[in-house]
Amino acid sequence: MDGNDSVDSKQDTTDMATFVQNLLQQMQSRFQTMSDSIITKIDEMGSRIDELEQSINDLRAEMGAENSPSPSPSVPSGPKDDSKSPKES
């Protein structure tokens, strides 16, 4: 019986090693999939942020173009900002 127990033990060890190896491969595959998904989403967010920055810059340019034909173009924008601050407070 000791001979059979030894063979069964070796078979159990081999089966367990195979199971663990397969489990680790599945985990690695899942982590790789999640990692790829996260990187893709980060890249998409970066693109969206770039688009948002460009839209903001376009709006600023439009606002600057609208403000440029003002009656007194020699007046710096600093006093305009100071006059707006007390109204907001």
CA 38 to chain centre: 7
DSSP designation for 71: S
Residue bearing tokens 């600093």: 78
CA distance 81 to 9: 82
pTM exceeding the 0.75 threshold for the entire prediction: no
Please report whether residue 51 resides in a domain: yes
**How far is it, in rounded angstroms, from Cα 24 to Cα 30?**
10
Asked if the structure places residue 19 within a domain, the reply is no
pLDDT averaged per 10 residues in sequence order, the chain, 89 residues: 69 93 98 98 98 96 79 49 46
Q: What is the reported pLDDT for 74?
A: 52
Domain count along the chain? 1
- Residue 74 located in a structural domain: no
Residue 9 included in any domain = no
What is the extent of the structural domain holding 47? Answer: 30-59
For the stretch 74-89, pLDDT in tens is 544 544 444 444 444 3
